[in-house]
Amino acid sequence: MSLLTVGTVAFDAIETPFGKTDRIVGGAATYISLAASYFTKKTAIISVVGDDFPEESLGMLRSHGVDTGGIKVVQGGKTFFWSGRYRNDMNSRDTLATELNVLADFAPVVAEEQKEADFLMLGNLTPAIQRSVIEQMRRRPKLIVMDTMNFWMDIALDELKETLKLVDVLTINDEEARQLSGEFSIVKAAQKILTMGPKYLVIKKGEHGALLFHGTSVFFAPALPLEEVFDPTGAGDSFAGGFIGYMASTRDISFENMKRAIIFGSAMASFCVEKFGTERLLHLTQEEIDNRVQDFIDLVQFDISLE
Ligand code: AMP
């Protein structure tokens, strides 16, 4: 086992200015694992669903090499449900509903063979569940990456701060960074968050790219200017999946390699937003990924020689 992911496997109902969907399969762990599957095949998910969750969708994950044995199916239970509506700029969204359902009393169990995973991705989920997974590992993974969101800052801030102390990399968006730190300036927010536990902080800025902070160093990855942005749902998770999938495939946890991982993460996010839900992540080719990464290189490459 190389990459262990904990996170939601969910039903989502999404509204964008271009259309609306009714209960499609989503969830943080779904997007993360699909994106990561293009980099590493030895991955597994720990999550929970109800018996309303389609077996074909678990099969879809398995066909991407994801071990779904750790996704507990609660008989008579209902799967986590989230619904959101995007504003016209597609960069901001309103959550219309979050129904925890089977997630409310989920106690994750890390299987023996997963306890030595080298890369641990804590997808967006109850911070106490994220922590319980770290505590069950037999030895500390080489890298622990954690994602979270404002919902957990609103209802479980103390637990969230406890989990933060145990991770290496935190990924959040700019508004969440402001909420968590109480600072308006993104740079001040980053400095403060880096004292809370993580040694690396990724601040995602949607169509304006992402920043990686470490000590006094900063790295910036743009987002690709795309003609079609259909549905941003899962972009953050696809980013995280590409990021940790690349890290797990190279097994190099240096800051220099993290910069490359951020570009691969951004490439996976750029695919994700081109279609509704997980659709665009289902059948990518290596050539498409390579071409997309080349687009990123071309976008920011310039020659200046300073005497
Ligand atoms: P993203 O657009 O990358 O932030 O993630 C969207 C996914 O996160 C959706 O598929 C939702 O099912 C899932 N999600 C939404 N709210 C939560 C929450 N409070 N906890 C965990 N997952 C969530």
Nearest Cα neighbor of 239 from 193, 213, 207 is: 207
Which tens digits make up the pLDDT trace of 207-217?
Answer: 899 999 999 99
Best mutation site among 6, 149, 279 for ligand 1, i.e. most ligand atoms within 8 A of its Cβ?
149
Ligand 1 atom 14: residue of nearest CA: 27
Looking at residue 269, its pLDDT comes to: 97
Atom of ligand 1 nearest to the CA of 124: 21
Looking at residue 95, its pLDDT comes to: 95
Distance 95 CA to ligand 1 centre (A): 10
Ligand 1 atom 11: residue of nearest CA: 27
Looking at residue 92, its pLDDT comes to: 86
Looking at residue 39, its pLDDT comes to: 98
Looking at residue 177, its pLDDT comes to: 98
Distance 125 CA to ligand 1 centre (A): 8
Ligand 1 atom 20: residue of nearest CA: 125
125/119 Cα distance (integer angstroms)? 17
The pLDDT tens digits along the chain (307 residues) read 799 999 999 999 999 998 899 999 999 999 999 999 999 998 999 999 999 999 999 999 999 999 999 999 999 999 999 999 999 888 889 999 999 999 999 999 999 999 999 999 999 999 999 999 999 999 999 999 999 999 999 999 999 999 999 999 999 999 999 999 999 999 999 999 999 999 999 999 988 999 999 999 999 999 999 988 899 999 999 999 999 999 999 999 999 999 999 999 999 999 999 999 999 999 999 999 999 999 999 999 999 999 8
Distance 187 CA to ligand 1 centre (A): 26
Pocket-forming residues, ligand 1, beta carbon under 6 Å: 8, 10, 12, 26-28, 82, 98, 124-125, 149, 151, 233-237
Number of other residues whose CB lies within 10 A of the CB of residue 234: 28
Distance 248 CA to ligand 1 centre (A): 23
pTM over 0.85: yes
Looking at residue 228, its pLDDT comes to: 84
Ligand 1 atom 15: residue of nearest CA: 82
Distance 235 CA to ligand 1 centre (A): 10
Looking at residue 307, its pLDDT comes to: 80
Atom of ligand 1 nearest to the CA of 151: 19
Question: What b/e sequence results for 114-125 when a residue is b if at least 16 CB atoms lie within 10 Å of its CB, and e otherwise?
Answer: beebbbbbbbbb
Would you list the DSSP string of the chain? Answer: --EEEE---EEEEEEETTEE-SSEEE-HHHHHHHHHTTT-S-EEEEEEEETTS-HHHHHHHHHTTEE-TTEEEETT----EEEEEE-TTSS-EEEEEEE-GGGTT------GGGTT-SEEEE-SS-HHHHHHHHHH-SS--SEEEEE--HHHHHH-HHHHHHHHTT-SEEEEEHHHHHHHH--SSHHHHHHHHTTSS-SEEEEE-GGG-EEEEETTEEEEEPPP--S-----TTHHHHHHHHHHHHHHHHT--SHHHHHHHHHHHHHHHHHHTTSSTTGGGSS--HHHHHHHHHHHHHHH-------
Best mutation site among 12, 82, 275 for ligand 1, i.e. most ligand atoms within 8 A of its Cβ?
82
